[in-house]
Structure 1
Amino acid sequence: MPSSHNAESLRGCGGVAVQLLSDAFHLPALRTSVPEARRRVTTALRAWGVTEQLRDDAELVVSELFTNAVRHTDSERVSCELTLDGARLRVAVTDQGHSDSRPQAQPRSTDRECGRGLLLVGAVSEDWGVRPADTGRGRVVWADLAY
């Protein structure tokens, strides 16, 4: 598996130094990669000293987004990037594949299997969204969580 990277820097923000932490990893687009993605996220956030609540929320978000990328696209690999920037943690999951639909929460899907995960993502995050991947193929689904 490709190795992850950690980056740390200080930036000025209104005269106050803000620490930026980031980590990224890539895993095969397999169901068995979902628990590995959760483990990697939890390990990075624990090393950064974030609260248990934020770790739990980020673990839920990465689990849902990674699972969607594996189940609903024809990707060979899925990437995850974490960025802790002041009071915000961004979790971004990038797939390589094609899907016939855009990820969206299904408000009336409590009895259905599909769509509930994004309702959970929306419930624990301040905001979330979808954008095309920088490679031109696939997409990035991201969520911002308050720290």
Structure 2
Amino acid sequence: MASFPDVRPLERRAGSVERTLRDAFRLPAIGSSVSEARRRVVDRLTEWNIGALVRDDARLVVSELFTNAVKHTDSDKVECELRVTGARLRLEVVDRGGGTARPRARHVDGGGPDREGESGRGLLLVDALAERWGVRPGGDGRGHMVWAELGFGPSAP
């Protein structure tokens, strides 16, 4: 997946973007790619004049989603796409792994997070930061696409 920068000045009304802004990239499925994904997302959102609070939330969300794709799949590459439409940022992370297990937040029987488990807590963070998030099969039938949407508006810095 190539990078699709759109660095023209933003046209804003009431804290939203009047046209869709989009960027996409693909990185190797290795641990060091997580920090590269965070950096690329924050850099692009900064270029697009997206507020610091939204950038910070997006940095955490992409870090969790990318980490899961690297750590819990046998994918050799991980793809990331970010889109800003109106007052909404959508982040998508796609692995091409062969596993069938769907990413999900881990809970204990009482409904609270599994504090002793080694994985699954990152998606609880995604759930807390995102207005909506979900999982669907990857586009070619392999792997998963995990997405999260963050809202912003005139009050976002």
Which digits, 9 at most, give the CA deviation of each residue in 1:100-140, with x for residues without a partner? 42111113312322110000000000010001111221110
Partner Cα distance (2:76, 2:140) in 1: 14
Q: Indicate how the Cα distance of structure 1 residues 8 and 20 shifts in structure 2: closer, same or farther if over 3 A, else same.
A: farther
Letter of the 2:79 counterpart: S
In 2, Cα distance between equivalents of 1:99 and 1:72: 9
- Quick check: 2:3–2:25 contact (8 Å CA) kept in 1? yes
- Choose 105-114 or 63-72, whichever is displaced more: 105-114
Match of 1:117 in 2: 122
Contact 2:7 2:48 in 1 (8 A): no
Runs of 4 or more, structure 1, over 3 Å off, are none
Structure 1 residue runs without a partner (length 5+): 10-16
The two structures have a TM-score, normalised by structure 1, of: 0.89
Aligned partners of 1:130 and 1:98: how far apart in 2? 15
Amino acid paired to 1:57? D
Instruction: Tell me the number of residue pairs that the alignment of Structure 1 and Structure 2 aligns.
Output: 140
Correspondence for 2:140:
135
Report if the CA contact (8 A) 1:8-1:20 is conserved: no
Contact kept? 2:93, 2:145, Cα under 8 Å:
yes
TM-score of the superposed pair, with normalisation by structure 2: 0.83
Larger RCO of the pair (alpha carbons < 8 Å, separation 6+): 2
2:67 is matched by which residue type in structure 1?
Answer: T
- The equivalent of 1:53 in structure 2 is 53
Whether the 8 Å CA contact 1:8–1:22 is kept in 2: the answer is no
For residue 99 of structure 1, report the CA deviation from its aligned partner.
2.2
Residue-by-residue CA offset, 1:18-62 (whole Å, 9 max, x unaligned): 211000000000001000000000000000001100000000010
Deviations along 1:65-123, one digit per CA (max 9) or x if unpaired, are 00000011100100000000001100000000022421111133123221100000000
* RMSD, aligned α-carbons: 1.9
Aligned to 2:64: 64
